Chains A and B, each alone.
Chain A
Amino acid sequence: MMFKKTLIAMAMGSTLAVTAQAGEVEVLHWWTSGGEARSIAVLKEMVEDAGHTWTDFAVAGGGGENAYTVLRSRAVSGNPPAAAQIKGLEIQEWGDLGFLASLDEVADENNWDENLPSVVADVMKHDGEYVAAPVNVHRVNWMWANPAVFEDAGVEIPTSLDELWAAAEELKAAGVTPIAHGGQPWQDATTFESIVLAVGGAEFFNDVFVEMDQAALESDTMVEAFEEFRKVNDYIDRGAPGRDWNVATSMVIRGEAAMQFMGDWAKGEFTAANMTPGEDYICAAFPGTEEAFTFNIDSLAMFKQRTAANAEAQLKMAELVLSPSFQETFNLNKGSIPVRTDLDMSKFDDCALASMETFKSTSASGEGLVPSMAHGMSTTSTIQGAIYDTVTEFFNSDMSAEDGATRLARAVRAAQ
């Protein structure tokens, strides 16, 4: 009996010794749908090729709320996964609580500072240290248009807000729904932030949604943005309230509606319908925001690990996330663009190329690259929620634009 126990202990000891060389990375994520699951499987293979073990910890459901609930309980009990799909300001919240591990070693070796635009790097850093690895970049300020519908109505694709309303008026007269919209708070906010960007420009956008400047929130520019936002109401169909974004996209695909304002994840729907960008559908910047880029970046935040081997595996994975081959495969599957600006883009389609071009030019000039408010890049979820509430309340009532701006400023102040 005694002998057996010793044997078992020895066996266990030796396995431990073996695994101590190679670490384990446990990754909490909700990339569970078809294309996403394929994308993350690539990272799994690469980590395993590097000799480490990958433990998949996918929690499906919601916009990640289920995953967050699991993550919180794991973190509180002192046993967080190696990496978790956390983005935007939430990285800072976890960093403030002291849960995140520094990736500076890998970042220095691989010149992250040079390869990543500084705005992106700032989101990934906490107290000046890299704590998260960016996976992809989505552009939010897109307009998806069906060119056949525009041609039938004899209307050009609009490039400014004034042109947009003129075009919408003619499309409406031609009997199509000008704007395919889904009346859910986050979709209202997505459209609203693009209008704010078009009306006030990137600097103003920064003042209101990043700095939360009270004067800017109540300014005339904001009132004007609310007035423009109100006009959207005239050009959506009556079935819009509660509609999911992909249903709205399918209205554009079928030609029932002329255009949709949505981030580039909408591209997947067009691709699935076997449509070619530039011919069957058009991806253009939201009218009046050609020179700007609202980014939404998915990232893996790295939690402090208990063993050195796991920490080593974690660093290796962070390095792989930024590697050109992973960035390319993942983003080809996901419809987004790589975070690195130095990659060969020959395999990407026109929309991705256009997106990359604006991403590069805005990050080089330092003007126009702004974090998306509607997608949690610029504010904490608390303030974001307060903005959602006001914006959707405005959109679904007959509140005046002045009241809208005042209410918005008050809601932001209360949430701070």
Chain B
Amino acid sequence: MSVSRKKGIDYWLPKLVVSPTLVIALVFFYGFVLWTTFISFTNSSFLPSYDFVGFDQYVRLFMNPRWLNAMWNLVVFGVLFIGICMVVGLVMAILLDQNIRAEGAIRTIYLYPMALSFIVTGTVWKWLLNPTVGIEKFVISLGWDSFIFDWIIDPDMAIYTVVIAGVWQASGFVMAIFLAGLRGIDTSIIKAAQLDGANLFAVYTRIIIPSMRPVFFSAFIMLAHIAIKSFDLVIALTGGGPGNSTDVPAIFMYQFSFQRGQLGIGAASAVIMLMTVLAILVPYLYSELRTPKNG
């Protein structure tokens, strides 16, 4: 009797504990995704309305040069940010993996930027990159009078300063992920390869890196969502400027929905952002998650 009652609790307790989270996720995530999609097909201005206008808001969105610029910036930022973070993170992880002294201390130093919020990172880099107070002024004061480093005030180059600040913040974290992946590889495989006469470079490129595929996968997922959601870093670093040159979709969405009373167009931009994430993640998830079955 008592045994069956205990089973009952065992059976129900996990479900009971998880259910509030499930309900919250269903309502506040999936529910609002549906509601936002719904709003994007209405002519909502600064209050939600329920007059359907079909794809009008999407047409207006893609007629807006600022939105196209924001999407392009996202592509530039996303590709460079994810790519550079992966490369820098991997190189740092491999170098740290060489049984060096004080590894713990160095690892912590590299990882520390991740402990800061993007607002802090953005503000610090804003000052560093500002030509009148930052790096440029410092180098000039050292005597190199013709030194110029003014990307942050150049509309064509400002988006790359966002990449610099983003990479500085996130590559230490990527390094930690890769380091964990490196440590998880069976050392006997490496020893076998070395016995077969493989040099260190070949061991890394032929054995270690290919076997870290799942680690690349998780690093990519994490970096991709940081890139697409990027808002706070850009706001703190450039405020979307100079002009609108570092505008990203998240800033566009926020401004149109909450500052300019155009909920419809804001919702449409949010839906497009979601579609972008899905367009990247779904094929990737599909290809990554089915490999273990085949292999």
Contacts and interface: CB of A to CB of B under 8 A. Distances in A.
Contacts of B255: 385
B82 to A, nearest CB: 26
Interface in A27-68: 63, 65, 68
Contacts of A184: 239, 241
Interface residues of B, number: 32
Contact of A65 (B130, B238, B243, B258): B258
Contacts of B150: 238
B141 to A, nearest CB: 16
Given A239-B132, A382-B45, A397 B243 contact: yes
Interface string A180-207: 0001110000000000000000000000
Interface string B256-295: 1011111000000000000000000000000000000000
Contacts of A242: 126, 152, 238-239, 241-242
Interface stretch (A104-112, A266-274, A313-321, A388-396): A388-396
B256 A385 contact: yes
A290 interface: no
A381 B46 CA distance: 10
B244 A393 contact: yes
A105 B229 CA distance: 51
A385 B132 contact: no
B258 A93 contact: no
Interface in A199-252: 237-242
A8 interface: no
Nearest to B69: A393
Contacts, number: 82
A254 interface: no
Contact of B243 (A238, A395, A414): A395
B132 A396 contact: no
B131 A239 contact: yes
A306 interface: no
Nearest to A73: B47
Interface in B49-69: 60, 63-66
Contacts of B245: 396
Nearest to A237: B132
Given A382-B45, A385-B255, A392-B244, A241 B260 contact: no
A76 interface: yes
Interface string A369-404: 000000000001110110001001101110000000
Interface in A63-105: 63, 65, 68-69, 72, 75-76, 90, 93, 97
Contacts of B153: 183, 238-241
B214 interface: no
B83 interface: no
B242 A183 contact: yes
B66 to A, nearest CB: 5
B66 A389 contact: yes
Contacts of B60: 414
A385 B259 contact: yes
B121 to A, nearest CB: 15
A393 B258 CA distance: 21
B48 interface: yes
B155 A93 contact: no
Contacts of A385: 255-256, 259-260, 262
B244 A238 contact: no
Contacts of A414: 60, 63-64
Interface string B218-247: 000000000000000000001101111100
A69 B258 contact: yes
A381 B155 CA distance: 25
B273 to A, nearest CB: 19
B207 interface: no
Contacts of A68: 258
Given A238-B132, A239-B130, A414-B63, A392 B258 contact: no
B133 interface: yes
A75 B238 contact: no
Q: Which 9 pairs across A and B sit closest by C-beta, in order of nearness?
A: A396-B243, A239-B132, A385-B260, A241-B242, A396-B242, A241-B153, A392-B243, A381-B260, A396-B155
Interface of B: 45-48, 60, 63-66, 126, 130-133, 150, 152-153, 155, 238-239, 241-245, 255-256, 258-262
Given A90-B261, A241-B152, A242-B241, 17 more contacts: A68-B258, A72-B46, A72-B47, A75-B47, A93-B45, A184-B241, A238-B132, A238-B150, A240-B153, A242-B242, A385-B255, A392-B243, A393-B243, A396-B241, A396-B243, A396-B244, A396-B245
Interface of A: 63, 65, 68-69, 72, 75-76, 90, 93, 97, 183-185, 237-242, 380-382, 384-385, 389, 392-393, 395-397, 414
5 contacts: A69-B258, A185-B241, A240-B153, A381-B259, A393-B243
